[in-house]
Every structure is written in C-alpha cells, then in structure tokens.
C-alpha cells in the first residue's frame, strides 16, 4: 500500500506524526556507553588485563543500544503516522505497515521485559488487529515515542472510536487530539 490512502469524497485529509525524540536517542546512547566504561575500566585493572572475550561481552550492550538509536535517528524507525482511515507504523527494521482503524480490535499496555517470572519490565503500547487474510495479530509499538504507553493507548483508542463514527470533528494537531482524550470524552 502506498503512503497515500483513500478517503471519502469531500472529507479533508490529515496526518499526525509521532516520532522518537532525537535528543532522547542521543542521551540513551551516551548513557549506554558511559555505563559500559566502568566495567571496562574495572576489567582492565585485573591482573590478566582485558581479554578480547570480556571486551566483546561488555561492548555488546552499548552496541545494540547504539544500533537501534541510530536507526531511529537516521531512518523513520519507530515513527507512527495517524490518519483518517488508519495509521502507518514503521518497525525497528524499517518496514512500513498500514493498519486500518476498523481492523484494530483493541489497544492496550503490555510489558516488555520479564512479565512472567518477575513481573518487571517497561510498559509499551500494543494493539490486537485482524489482518486482511483474517489472522489475528498482536503487535507492540516502540517504547521511545514522546508519550507514555498509557497516554498513547488512550489517544489511539479515542482515535479508533472517532474513526468508527467517521471523524465528525477531525483533529488539527497532536495537541488537539491529546486535549480531547484528556477531556473525559474517551
């Protein structure tokens, strides 16, 4: 599907984009590398010095964090574009996927981490939808969008309900859409 979606005649087209904050991505990379310097320095003080295997193990964490942060900075990874008839999401591998509002069954907050054993992790927005071929799928949205998971879920659920009624009053901006979800409408 192309970036242009269809809309009924006479209805105004609109798009609201949510994307990761570049400053947050740079900060995340800096913290990951600074966090790694301590163990590297400590391991270098060992009598045997820093072995290549220990270096590889310690450097793996900041390299993975840096990879995904740079993908968010240089590409559209993690971006979410809300439109009248659905939303585009860009996955961490750069693929774009369009999901119509009427395909979505529900939005919710999931846990990324270890919810089964320890019950800990990071709250991330997720949604369940039925694909064009009838397959029910649950996908998670990135946790690096500028809204908390709970707030983003409220916003997306409100958008889904508004889309089912044909968007009688389309939003002018993200702030406008957020203010409507905070007014107790959803």
What pLDDT score was predicted for residue 115?
A: 62
Q: Assess whether 117 and 137 both reside in one domain.
A: yes
Q: Assess whether 69 and 102 both reside in one domain.
A: no
Domain for residue 3, yes or no?
Answer: no
Question: Looking up tokens 């590889």, which residue turns up?
Answer: 56
Pairwise CA distance, residues 72 & 165, whole Å: 34
Tens of pLDDT, residue by residue over 123-175, are: 889 999 998 888 999 998 887 788 888 999 999 999 999 999 888 888 888 88
Average pLDDT (57-72) is 86
Average pLDDT, the chain: 83
Question: Which tokens go with 128?
Answer: 């369940």
> What DSSP assignment string belongs to 112-171?
EEETTTT-EEEEEEEEEEE-TTS-EEEEE--TTSSS-HHHHHHHHHHHHHHHHTT-SS--
Pairwise CA distance, residues 153 & 89, whole Å: 14
Q: Assess whether 96 and 171 both reside in one domain.
A: yes
Domain for residue 13, yes or no?
Answer: no
What pLDDT score was predicted for residue 119?
A: 67
Pairwise CA distance, residues 20 & 160, whole Å: 22
Q: Assess whether 105 and 150 both reside in one domain.
A: yes
**Residues 127, 106: contact at Cβ < 8 Å?**
yes
Q: Assess whether 66 and 153 both reside in one domain.
A: no
Q: Assess whether 92 and 156 both reside in one domain.
A: yes
Domain for residue 11, yes or no?
Answer: no
> Residue 43 in 3-state DSSP?
helix
What pLDDT score was predicted for residue 14?
A: 85
Q: Assess whether 46 and 115 both reside in one domain.
A: no
User: Taking the model in full, what pTM does it have?
Assistant: 0.74
Average pLDDT (19-42) is 87
Q: Assess whether 33 and 61 both reside in one domain.
A: yes
pLDDT band of residue 186 (cuts 50, 70, 90) is very low
Tens of pLDDT, residue by residue over 84-116, are: 999 999 877 778 889 999 999 999 998 877 666
Domain for residue 63, yes or no?
Answer: yes
Q: Assess whether 66 and 116 both reside in one domain.
A: no
Instruction: Indicate if the pLDDT at residue 47 is higher than 70.
Output: no
Q: Assess whether 112 and 69 both reside in one domain.
A: no
Pairwise pLDDT comparison (7 vs 158), residue with the higher score: 158
Question: Which tokens go with 130?
Answer: 């039925």
Residues of the domain holding 32: 23-74
Total domains present in the chain? 2
Q: Assess whether 46 and 99 both reside in one domain.
A: no
Domain for residue 133, yes or no?
Answer: yes
Question: Which tokens go with 86?
Answer: 């659905």
Q: Assess whether 84 and 136 both reside in one domain.
A: yes
pLDDT band of residue 48 (cuts 50, 70, 90) is confident
């Amino acid at each position: 599907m192309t970036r242009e979606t269809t809309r009924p005649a006479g209805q105004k087209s609109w798009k609201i984009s949510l994307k990761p904050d570049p400053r947050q991505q740079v900060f995340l990379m800096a913290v990951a590398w600074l966090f790694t310097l301590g163990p590297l320095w400590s391991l270098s003080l060992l009598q045997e010095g820093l072995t290549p295997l220990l270096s590889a193990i310690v450097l793996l964490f900041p390299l993975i964090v840096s990879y995904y942060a740079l993908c968010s900075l240089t590409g559209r990874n993690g971006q979410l574009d809300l439109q009248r008839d659905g939303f585009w999401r860009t996955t961490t591998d750069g693929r774009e996927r369009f999901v119509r509002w009427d395909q979505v069954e529900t939005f919710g907050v999931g846990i990324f981490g270890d919810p089964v054993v320890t019950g800990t992790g990071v709250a991330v927005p997720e949604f369940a939808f039925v694909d064009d071929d009838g397959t029910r799928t649950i996908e998670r949205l990135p946790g690096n969008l500028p809204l908390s998971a709970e707030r983003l879920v409220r916003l997306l659920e409100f958008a889904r309900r508004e889309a089912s009624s044909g968007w009688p009053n389309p939003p002018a901006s993200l702030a406008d859409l957020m203010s409507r979800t905070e007014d107790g409408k959803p």
